[in-house]
Structure 1
Amino acid sequence: MTEIAILTPDPSDSSYAGQWPGVLERLGEALATAGLTAVPTPWTDHIGDASGLMRFPLVLPLIAWGYHRDHDRWMQACATWQAAGVRMLNPPSVLGWNSDKSYLGRLAEQGVAIPDTVWVDEVTQADVDAAFDRFGVEQIVVKPRVSGGAWKTLRLARGEGMAGAPEGPAMIQPYLPTIETEGETSLLFFGGQLSHVVQKRPVPGEFRVQVQYGGGYVALAEPPAGALALAERTLAAIGEDLLYARIDMARGTDGGWLLMEAELIEPDFYLASAPEGGARFAAAVRARL
């Protein structure tokens, strides 16, 4: 069995202690089908010195949770891994830029459809009021530019206070009511090839689709009409050497697909919904060795 490293959370961060071992187990089971053994190691152990990663033929950052709360050190780590030539996929350069959602603006400039977005350095009431007027809606969503798992993401109604608004660089978008009725759709790609499709829906009254907020996931036999085209356009615009990608999208009010996220760092692969429990993922990893 060939050993490959899986980056895991900071051991001092107890918020993930009950979750990541289960994710590691599922990844390990999938990788074992290709003769690979997953070796966990905290990403925070390798911030300034990559020597502990150099013995591995491949490093996967798939459980590097918590980087969004420690972004300066995350960027330092990405620079360290890049400079040392760590064999990491996705590449450290991608892990850096993909950690800041301003990449969505760059993709939009290349013709990828995203929700109308206002980018701010610090959220103010004036910014929120102006966004309501610009979008012509009654609800908006405010997100930190650096976030994960809907961390500090708010849905605000016109006239509602800003309690809990994120600090620092943020993005403001119109709330998409289709999230409640249709949810989000995720297309999973391994080695550039579509593996499977998952639809995620929030519980009634909620807008966050993550499982920690009660969201439910259903596998789809094939992408809904138009979804694959947006995903492929997104990947072409990214133009990077990617081992894996999760492309999240939702329908706008006109029925067209809009890119919500291109998750290239530590996405949930929904392997329970994947063919053969993730054998395509394992095969894509093996093909890179």
Structure 2
Amino acid sequence: MTKPAIAFLACPDTLPGSPTRRPDAFEHDLLLEAIRTGLGDRADLHAIDWRAPMDQLTQYDLAYLGTPWDYTEAKDEFLERLEALEGAGVVVANPAEVIRWNADKLYLAELAARGAPSIPTLWPQSAGPAEVLAAFDHFGCDRVVLKRRVGAGAIGQDSFTRAAPPPPDWRIDQPAMIQPFLPAIQSEGEHSFIFVSGQFSHGLIKQAAQGDYRIQSLYGGIEVAVDPAPADRQAAEAVMAMLPFEAPPLYARIDMVRLDSGELAVIEAELIEPYLYPLQGAEFGPRMAEGMLARLG
């Protein structure tokens, strides 16, 4: 019987040999190797640019959204490509309906309405100095963080204080979000909970480099594997249960940070192309392999 073929969708910023390869693209290599090892000889796994010709992509039985990290600059094109693959009979993981819901961070407001412990947020259509100054008073805080609603990897993200507000010409010219800065990001770090087919796989804490607050490896962040406290794991599992889909996604990364109250609040429910930290989860590769094969029947 012919082995199934699985596409690990990537982009020029992550594919080996690319002249534009990012310095954190080693995460692509680690993720690909973990899944390939988990699959063994049961399926063929190939990394390929998500913009490759459709006649190439439709040769695969399943398309996994591995590291298409440039999709944020072409969200509509990305969604159209995923829907076209599904229309051609390719299993897409996670499915296009999940990606469409997750691509705009306004989904966090929906999770908050469902009862998820959340960070207070303002949702301006664009943001300049006036919106930042108003946010200080709205939240009653001295520091805020601003993000693009469609974005990843802290790209386009800024943080300002009352003492050091944005310059007059600063602006986010697209839908944005503003939140109070949470000190636990620097004192404790950001908790990540990895789920495969709806089941908890492994946990870790991501810590920023000295003097920074961004926890991504691109900015010097490090990761420490942890066995989450029962209450913390339950908080992440509760967020998973709030996702508005009939079946759990193949993969999910629930990112949370501790509030002053001691409970964890959700920062992101990463369902598109998150790095899933295979080095911190010994069983991650086999679990992903089983999940992929199950989706292929």
Distance 1:218-1:166 versus aligned 2 partners, 3 A rule? same
Show the counterpart of 2:252. Answer: 245
Q: How does 1:85-234 map to 2 (within 5 A)?
A: 85-163=89-167, 165-220=171-226, 222-234=227-239
Distance 1:159-1:101 versus aligned 2 partners, 3 A rule? same
Residue 21 of structure 1: CA displacement? 6.7
Contact 1:188 1:269 in 2 (8 A): yes
Q: How does 1:64-79 map to 2 (within 5 A)?
A: 64-79=68-83
Residue 121 of structure 1: CA displacement? 0.3
Distance 1:160-1:72 versus aligned 2 partners, 3 A rule? farther
The answer on 1:272 being equivalent to 2:274 is no
Deviates more, 1:26-35 or 1:95-104: 26-35
Q: Deviations over 1:117-161 (max 9, x none)?
A: 000101032221221111111100000001111011111101534
* Alignment gaps of 5+ in structure 1: none
Residue 276 of structure 1: CA displacement? 4.1
The answer on 1:288 being equivalent to 2:288 is no
The one-letter code matched in structure 1 to 2:67 is I
Q: Percent identity?
A: 34
Alpha-carbon distance in structure 1 between the residues aligned to 2:12 and 2:105: 22
SS at match of 2:45: strand
Alpha-carbon distance in structure 2 between the residues aligned to 1:20 and 1:5: 17
SS at match of 1:238: coil
Q: How does 1:255-270 map to 2 (within 5 A)?
A: 255-270=262-277
Alpha-carbon distance in structure 2 between the residues aligned to 1:17 and 1:28: 18
Residue 56 of structure 1: CA displacement? 1.7
The one-letter code matched in structure 2 to 1:32 is T
Residue 17 of structure 1: CA displacement? 5.3
Alpha-carbon distance in structure 1 between the residues aligned to 2:20 and 2:101: 25
Contact 1:140 1:156 in 2 (8 A): yes
User: How high is the TM-score relative to the length of structure 1?
Assistant: 0.90
The answer on 1:40 being equivalent to 2:76 is no
Residue 211 of structure 1: CA displacement? 0.6
Contact 1:199 1:219 in 2 (8 A): yes
Q: State how many pairs are aligned.
A: 285
Alpha-carbon distance in structure 1 between the residues aligned to 2:215 and 2:111: 23
RMSD of aligned residue pairs (Cα, Å):
2.2
Contact 2:34 2:278 in 1 (8 A): no
Show the counterpart of 2:9. Answer: 7
Residue 72 of structure 1: CA displacement? 3.2
Residue 51 of structure 1: CA displacement? 4.2
Distance 1:175-1:14 versus aligned 2 partners, 3 A rule? farther
Alpha-carbon distance in structure 2 between the residues aligned to 1:139 and 1:278: 40
Residue 259 of structure 1: CA displacement? 0.2
SS at match of 1:278: helix
Alpha-carbon distance in structure 2 between the residues aligned to 1:173 and 1:84: 41
Alpha-carbon distance in structure 2 between the residues aligned to 1:113 and 1:82: 34
Show the counterpart of 1:63. Answer: 67
